[in-house]
Amino acid sequence: MSGRLAVVGLGPGDARWLTREAEAAIAAAAALYGYGPYLDRVPSRPGQARHPSDNREEAARAAAALRHAAEGASVAVVSGGDPGVFAMAAAVCAEIEAGPQAWRTLDVVIVPGVTAMLAVAARAGAPLGHDFCALSLSDNLKPWELIERRLDAAAGVGFVIALYNPISRARPWQLGAAFERLRQRLPASTPVMFGRAVGRPDENVVVTTLEGADPATADMATLIIVGSSETRAIARPGRAPLVYTPRAVQGASA
Amino acid sequence: MSGRLAVVGLGPGDARWLTREAEAAIAAAAALYGYGPYLDRVPSRPGQARHPSDNREEAARAAAALRHAAEGASVAVVSGGDPGVFAMAAAVCAEIEAGPQAWRTLDVVIVPGVTAMLAVAARAGAPLGHDFCALSLSDNLKPWELIERRLDAAAGVGFVIALYNPISRARPWQLGAAFERLRQRLPASTPVMFGRAVGRPDENVVVTTLEGADPATADMATLIIVGSSETRAIARPGRAPLVYTPRAVQGASA
């Protein structure tokens, strides 16, 4: 069996953050699978089949792509951002583990991409310049109480925090609760960045403080970065402030 | 003043992980600054000045590039991986904050890239598929005691841990101490991945367990990922195991 499955990160936004490897992996595939809006970002090629699916169908999409690859085809699953960060690569691995033994013999290649927090950080300055964590705020797949413990721990030891999946229609209150929680452990002046649709024409980046952070600023296309107590905003005339977290912790010798 | 400074992420390894935006930013620059081996990865263009410098001269390199841009030039500082993750973007921001007011009027653009942990994760499967943190193990710029507290907190609440700067000639014992610390909080069978020089001809990825993790496997070009108690390794006939962290925490309803 010569089937091949590539799980390809497109980066956030438009094609500017596509890597050469991702372009090559997409071009080489006989069939593409993915969430519809991500597939729409990939130019079509004659003879290449396209199988769009809905946002919440990761497991079914992964299984369909694996079945197709197991027939001997070269298949690519496209993913926004990096496929390994809260995205399709883990869904594909889970299906391989649960599926027929033959799936374990497939050639599986993960093609990394620029994940959303890196693109939002780049727009703001360098808020991830020191130790940080990435946390999905969705309590669909884990208990909310665990998310609270992770927020407390991260803020308590000085990790900058990138929040993925901050809000949705089905999860309207969680982001506000997270900000409240963080306000108990971090200074009111801590920089907070909302990056919406970064790299797309409707991109919007808002830099505020933890005190001023309004959950209504976020939607499903938003990635949020909450600084640590070390994160700083440099005022610039006529420009947005430049937010960064110094590499050195204050008081440490260089 | 029309000076422009781009801080450009090359991704790890060779050109496969270069983005279109990074290629364009490098091509547009009149002068390039960077650590010598990173500059060597960028093809030379007639008329484009190149200013290589040593590994530990981040602050001086950032200041030199800013001075050059402040003369009205279009300058790029190249960085391995993503410039915002333990790399040049924070160094540039720090120099802007400390430098002359005129530097705050420069057009500063950060071009994100694939950071090492994403590339290593892609090689192993999807170990970063659930909440994770990125921690520099260098105690040059922060106290070792703080690193210990971060390791304890991260392992204690179930973050997968990516370790940057795990070891060097000047810091020979820290990685072993970190593994010892993590063994007190995580199962002996926790998957550990060493990714050395990923994307380069001498790439080497080793998948082992926390019990078997040997600091001697790492060098300065290595990125290490330590799983959480949820991280799993799928055995595959004739292939390396596929390591992933499920999106759902066990016991949580989907």
pLDDT in tens, A200-233: 999 999 999 999 999 999 999 999 999 999 999 9
Across the range B43-48, mean pLDDT stands at 90
Q: Which of B19, B122, B156 sits opposite A84 (nearest CB)?
A: B122
Strands B160-164 and B222-226: antiparallel
So what's the pLDDT on residue B101? 96
Is the confidence at residue B253, as pLDDT, over 60? no
CA distances from A56 to A148, B170, B191, B213 (A): 24, 48, 28, 37
Alpha helices in B126-208 (DSSP H): 144-157, 174-183
Cα atoms found within 13 Å of the Cα of residue B172, Cβ hemisphere only: 2
Instruction: Tell whether A234 is within 8 A of chain B (Cβ).
Output: yes
Edge to edge, what strands does the sheet with B31-35 contain?
A: B49-53, B31-35, B74-79, B4-9, B107-111
Instruction: Note the ipTM here.
Output: 0.97
- A165: nearest CA in chain B? B131
So what's the pLDDT on residue B1? 53
Q: Which amino acid is at A160?
A: V
pLDDT in tens, B157-212: 999 999 999 999 999 999 999 999 999 999 999 999 999 999 999 999 999 999 99
Q: What is the DSSP letter of B44?
A: P
Q: What is the DSSP letter of A217?
A: G
**3 state DSSP class of B65:** helix
User: A213 vs chain B: nearest CA distance in angstroms?
Assistant: 22
Q: A residues 82-101 near B, CB within 8 Å?
A: 82-87, 89-94, 96-97
Quickly state the pLDDT bin for A56 (edges 50, 70, 90): confident
Quickly state the pLDDT bin for B55 (edges 50, 70, 90): confident
Indicate the average pLDDT of chain B: 95
Q: A residues 145-174 near B, CB within 8 Å?
A: 146, 149-150, 153-154, 156-159
Quickly state the pLDDT bin for A254 (edges 50, 70, 90): very low
Where is A223: in which H helix or E strand?
A: strand A222-226
